[in-house]
Structures are given as C-alpha cells and as structure tokens.
C-alpha cells in the first residue's frame, strides 16, 4: 500500500539553477538537438541585445572541434562590480541566477530579443563547463562554472583564455552537458546558419561571423539595407512588379518597419519579427498589417476601377497572391507578450492597431503618389480575384455533380477497409500495370490504391480553377478528402500516409516532382502535417539461384558487386518500372510497412523550398538553365 502522507516534509524547494536541470524542457523546449540550438541562440541573443542597444558592431560565433561553442561581441561587457545586496559580482549573478539581467527595466536594454532574463543562466545550468570573460576599462575578468555553479569568484586576469578578439565586450564559451542532452550535443548547423543570416538582415551594419572549425568553414553576414535586402533576396528568381515599398515609423516606444513587394508568382511569402525574434506563427502585428493592406488597396481600387470590373471587394486571399512582405516591430522588452512559451506568436493587442494605422496611412499616400506601381499591383490582384471567382464557380459546378464532396469517391480508387485515417494509407501510382500490381499486392485492410494515368499538370504555372478542371487532380482531391482552396481542412484528410509511388527511373522522378509541386502549392497544410511520403522502389534485382537482393540505386549495385565479385555470376535485372514487378515483389520491396523505405516530405525551410520550386518548375528559363549547367557533372544518364 502506497504512503499517501502529505506534510510539510513533502515540499521540496529547488534553489538556484536546480529547477533548470530538473525540468530543462520548461526553459528550452526540448533536450534533443533543437534544444542545443536554442542554448546557442540564447547566448547569441545576448550579444545581439548589445547591438540593438547601439554598442556592439561585431558578433563572432566559433564552433570548436571539441564541442565547445563560443560567442564574442564587442559591446560594453557585462558589469563586474559587486552588488551589495548579494555580495557577488554582477557577472556572477547574470550567469547563475534566474531572472537576473538588464532587460526588466527600460534603461539598459530598451529593445532586446531576450525576454525573461533566463538565457545565459539557463545555458550555464545545462552546460558541463561554461566560461565567461569580460573586457572592460582595459581589464579582463573571468569566471568559470560547472553545471551552473561557479568554480571561483570573478577574477581579474592578464590573459584571455578564450583568445578575445576585441578591445571591449563579452565572450561566453560552453559545452552542453551530456547528462542533459543525451541524444547529441551537436547543433543543427544548417538551421543555425539560416538563423544568423536572418538576424543579420534585421540588424543592418552589424558584422556577423561564423567560424566552424569542425567543417573548416568561415562565413560572414553583413547587410547594409536591412529588411530591404531581405525582401530582394526573397524575390530572387521571380519577376517583381515594382520597387520595394519601404515603411519605417515610430509611435511612442514602438517602431514599425515594413517592406512590401509583389511578384508575378501565385504564392505569398511573409515574414514577421519582433525584436529580432522570428514570430513564425504571426500575431497581432501580422493581423494589423493584413488589415491595413487589404483596406488601402480596396480604397484605392474604388477610385480607379470601374464598378463593372470589380464585382465584389478584394479579399485578403486575392491580395496574398504574389505578395512578399516583411513586418518588423521593435518595442520595449518589458512590454512584450507572447502566446505560448516558444515566443513565436506576438500577443500584444495594442500592436495591431498601431501597425494597422501606420501601414495604412503610408500605403494610402504611396498609391496616390505612385500610380504606375499602384496600377501594377492592382492589376495583379484583380487577376487573382477573377481567378478565385472562376475557381469558385468551377468548384460549385463540380460540387453540383457530386464530385468533390460527399460519398462519390472516384471509381479508379481501390479503397481500404480501415476508416481511421491514422491507420490508413493511400498509394498514388502511375499507370495501369503498376496500379494492377499494387492492388493485388496490397494489404486491403489499411492500404488504398489510386492509379492515375499519364503525366499531370505542372501546377507551378496554373491557378486553382485550372487544377480543379483536371480529372487527375479531381480524383486525387476527392480521394484525399481534405478539400482544396478556401475550403481546405487538413483535419478531414482520409489517410495520414499519402504515398507517391513512381518508377525508380528519371521519368518516375519527373512525375514525383510534379506531384510534390501540386502538394506544395495547393495542399501545403497536408504536407506540413506530415501526411505526404515518397515510396522508394528498387532499381535492380540481383539473383543467383534462390539468393536474391534488391538494390535501390546504381551506387548500391556497384557496392554490392564490389563486395560479391567472386566466382559467382550474378544475374542483374534492372526494373524499367513498377509494372515489371509482380504483386509479391512490389509488396516485399515497396509496400510492406515492415521492409519498405519511405521518405516523409517536410517543409522545414518554406522560403528555400519556394525558391527551388520557382526555379525548377516556373516559367523563367535562365535560372533553371544555370542550375542544370552548374550540376551537369553530377548527373548520370538513365538510358
């Protein structure tokens, strides 16, 4: 029988940094690799705060071969004087006490990325070794820590243990604790580089440098133009309709900065930030921006567009098409409010009205003073509206025939018996023979098969009305069940594994790319939910008597033959397509959940993915030609 006694002795008080080590996920979100990135970014953000305050012009990050990560800045340096109340140096308090820092009052840091004053101390608590060095008043001060506890008092020293490159500033070096980060203490380096690149746009004229000694790589990021440079890079490979519209205005303690540019694509690309924090979930600043943009464009349209040419007000969805924008808010850190612990959605209600007012007033004036740009933008949006209304009419016409909703599943679909989407999967296959093998070899309980014949449209170039009019896409949309366009609801997806299964050759790769383009452009929430996969069928079957091996690439084949090049003469069969496999082979190699290879499609970097699709699938030939020439030596003939 358990002891249910509950008394004063049951109360445990965690002191100092003990709560951080006890519950690290509460402070950095996760103790897997993203948590390591979070730790490094906390230290970088402290250096960035010195830049935002106008003191640091250089921030260097060094990734050592032994796992240590060091961040230098040339700011003022953390104070080292003794705080009488605590009888400790200010440096030690910042590094060992939660909620100790200069960000709670508006004097030291009016604007900062660090909100709660827990960054450095939390990273210290989660590091097996942590070193802090400060250069101030021509002197060097140092303190070392182990798992959040100081090894000695802050001391003045003649030499820099960390090879400090600046005359003043702060240097922090740490190695994550393997007792906490049991999976890895390595950062996701590509993601970290992207974050530093992004921050360099937001803090113009600050020099960021990354030195990765493990990879022997040195990188530098510096942008004079700030978010204007960012908007230009966002539109690389796209045909822009006008020069960027740039807005910068302060209202009390809040500064609003925005850049807007329309291009000829069908896709929206909007980034929002507050105090160098990427608010990927948006928030009140994004809501205010959208309201202002929609209202200003409609106000201008009423003045210049004949009533017969605009049947209804332009909607937010019309305006999204081809919109690239950056919305950047700087405000006192003490007033910041975020929804959730991850600081990805701004919650300050007053910011919505401030952004809406500033952006709206500026755009009203801009459209009047720049009629040529206004005409280009309005023409693009009116075209988007006509396409939306046409798509709506087409969809309604299809709905009247019962094709996109209800129980009228396509006749080509061999559905599964399972009705729980989490236990169901659908294979999208090309061709009659492949479809036949897949239907015969599948597990009927949980696997559905949808054969589609011939190459599909390149949807990078077409709007929704054209997509809906295609029988192939119509069948696919109906089978998936999530809808499309304004009615898309990812929760209605009928299968939580949507598997694109094409031949292993170049032709199959092309068809696979066309499907991925469709999903990325028109069913992106389904991709973001993790429901889209690519099957990996074998390219070769190698046999000798009853000994049989399936090989998936030319490299696999060459490696196999190198290891098995004895007296045995292997029979090598190259599959021309899935249709060449019998049902048992297809099940064994590509469909059996116990033995198959599946690649889950994710969109971790949406902007990079967007640029890649534009380059490879868009109408502009030169970027695609350049890519082909650059990578020609990597290509192999498939004949």
Tokens of 522: 């028109």
d(CA 134, CA 143): 9
3-state secondary structure of 176: strand
d(CA 181, CA 576): 46
> Could you tell me which residues come within 8 angstroms of residue 535 by beta carbon, excluding any fewer than 6 positions away?
427, 499, 500, 501, 502, 590, 591, 596, 597, 598
d(CA 482, CA 489): 5
Active-site amino acid positions: 430, 503, 505, 507
CA 165 from centroid of its chain's CA atoms:
33
For residue 262, report the phi and psi dihedrals to the nearest 5 degrees: -95, 145
Is-contact 350 283, C-beta < 8 A?
Answer: no
Cross-strand bridge partners of residue 83:
88
Three-point CA angle 530, 532, 537, nearest 5°: 130
* Strand duo 497-501 + 425-430: pairing: parallel
> Could you tell me which residues come within 8 angstroms of residue 481 by beta carbon, excluding any fewer than 6 positions away?
492, 493, 494
Tokens of 553: 């690439």
d(CA 123, CA 174): 8
Sheet bearing 532-535, strands edge to edge = 447-452, 425-430, 497-501, 532-535, 598-600
| Angle between helical axes of 506-522 and 606-617 (0-180°, round to 10) | 130
Q: Is 391 exposed, middle or buried, given 0-12, 13-18 or 19+ CB atoms closer than 10 A?
A: buried
Q: Is 615 exposed, middle or buried, given 0-12, 13-18 or 19+ CB atoms closer than 10 A?
A: middle
Q: Which residue has the tokens 């729980």?
A: 420
Q: Which residue has the tokens 């003469």?
A: 569
Per 3-state DSSP, the chain is made up of helix, strand and coil in percentages (nearest 5) of 40, 20, 40
Question: Strand locations in 320-455, DSSP E?
Answer: 323-330, 425-430, 447-452
d(CA 77, CA 56): 10
Phi-psi region of 116 (alpha: psi -120 to 50; beta: other; left: phi over 0): alpha
Cross-strand bridge partners of residue 60:
72, 209
**Sign of torsion over alpha carbons 591, 592, 597, 601:** positive
3-state secondary structure of 497: strand
Is-contact 127 179, C-beta < 8 A?
Answer: no
Nearest one of 184, 229, 325, 330 to 268, comparing CA atoms: 325
d(CA 220, CA 519): 35
CA 68 from centroid of its chain's CA atoms:
26
Instruction: Please list the alpha-helical segments (H only) found in 313-348.
Output: 316-320
């Amino acid at each position: 029988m358990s002891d249910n006694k509950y008394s004063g002795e049951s109360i445990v008080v965690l002191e100092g940094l003990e709560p951080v080590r006890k519950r690290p996920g509460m402070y950095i979100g996760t103790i897997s690799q993203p948590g390591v990135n979070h730790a490094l970014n906390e230290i970088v953000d402290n250096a960035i705060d010195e830049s935002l305050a106008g003191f640091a012009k250089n921030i260097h990050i060094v990734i050592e071969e032994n796992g240590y990560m060091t961040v230098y800045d040339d700011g003022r340096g953390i104070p080292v004087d003794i705080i009488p109340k605590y009888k400790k140096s200010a440096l030690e308090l910042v590094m060992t006490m939660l909620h100790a820092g200069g960000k709670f009052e508006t004097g030291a840091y009016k604007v900062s990325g660090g909100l709660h004053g827990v960054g450095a101390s939390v990273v210290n608590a989660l590091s097996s070794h942590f070193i802090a060095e400060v250069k101030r008043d021509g002197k060097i001060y140092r303190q070392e820590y182990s798992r959040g506890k100081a090894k000695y008092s802050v001391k003045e020293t003649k030499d820099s243990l960390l090879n400090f490159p600046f005359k003043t500033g702060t240097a922090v070096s740490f190695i994550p604790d393997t007792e906490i980060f049991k999976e890895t203490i390595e950062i996701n380096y590509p993601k970290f580089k992207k974050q530093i690149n992004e921050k360099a746009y937001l803090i113009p004229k600050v020099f960021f440098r990354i030195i990765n000694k493990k990879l022997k790589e040195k990188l530098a990021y510096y942008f004079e133009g700030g978010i204007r440079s960012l908007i230009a890079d966002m539109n690389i490979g796209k045909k822009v309709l006008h020069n960027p519209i740039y807005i910068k205005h302060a209202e009390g303690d809040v500064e609003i900065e925005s850049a807007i540019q329309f291009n000829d694509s069908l896709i929206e690309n909007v980034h929002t930030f507050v105090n160098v924090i990427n608010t990927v979930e948006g928030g009140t600043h994004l809501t205010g921006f959208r309201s202002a943009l929609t209202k200003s464009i409609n106000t201008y349209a009423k003045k210049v567009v004949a009533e017969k040419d605009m049947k209804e007000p332009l909607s937010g969805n019309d305006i999204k098409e081809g919109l690239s924008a950056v919305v950047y808010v700087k405000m006192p850190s003490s007033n910041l409010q975020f929804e959730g612990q991850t600081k990805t959605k701004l919650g300050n209600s007053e910011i919505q009205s401030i952004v809406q007012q500033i952006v709206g007033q500026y755009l009203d004036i801009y459209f009047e003073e720049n009629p040529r740009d206004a005409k280009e933008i309005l023409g693009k949006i009116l075209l988007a509206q006509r396409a939306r209304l046409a798509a709506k009419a087409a969809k309604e016409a299809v709905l009247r025939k019962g094709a996109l909703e209800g129980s009228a599943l396509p006749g080509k679909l061999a559905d599964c018996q399972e009705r729980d989407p989490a236990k169901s999967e659908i294979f999208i296959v090309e061709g009659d023979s492949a479809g036949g093998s897949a239907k015969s070899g599948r597990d009927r309980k949980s696997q559905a098969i949808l054969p589609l014949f011939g190459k599909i449209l390149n949807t990078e170039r077409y709007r929704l009305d054209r997509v809906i009019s295609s029988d192939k896409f119509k069948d696919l949309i109906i089978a998936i069940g999530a809808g499309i366009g304004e009615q898309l609801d990812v929760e209605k997806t009928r299968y939580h594994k949507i598997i694109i299964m094409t031949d292993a050759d170049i032709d199959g790769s092309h068809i696979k790319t066309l499907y991925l383009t469709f999903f990325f452009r028109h069913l992106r929430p389904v991709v973001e939910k993790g429901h889209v996969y690519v099957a990996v069928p074998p390219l070769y079957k190698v046999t000798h008597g009853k000994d049989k091996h399936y090989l998936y690439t030319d490299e696999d084949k060459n490696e196999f033959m190198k290891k098995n090049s004895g007296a045995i003469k292997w029979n090598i069969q190259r599959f021309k397509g899935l249709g060449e496999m019998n049902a048992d082979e297809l099940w064994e190699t590509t469909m059996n959940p116990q033995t198959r290879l599946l690649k889950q499609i994710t969109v971790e970097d949406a902007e990079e993915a967007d640029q890649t699709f534009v380059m490879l699938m868009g109408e502009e030939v030169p970027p695609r030609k350049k890519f082909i020439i650059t990578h020609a030596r990597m290509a192999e003939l498939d004949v």
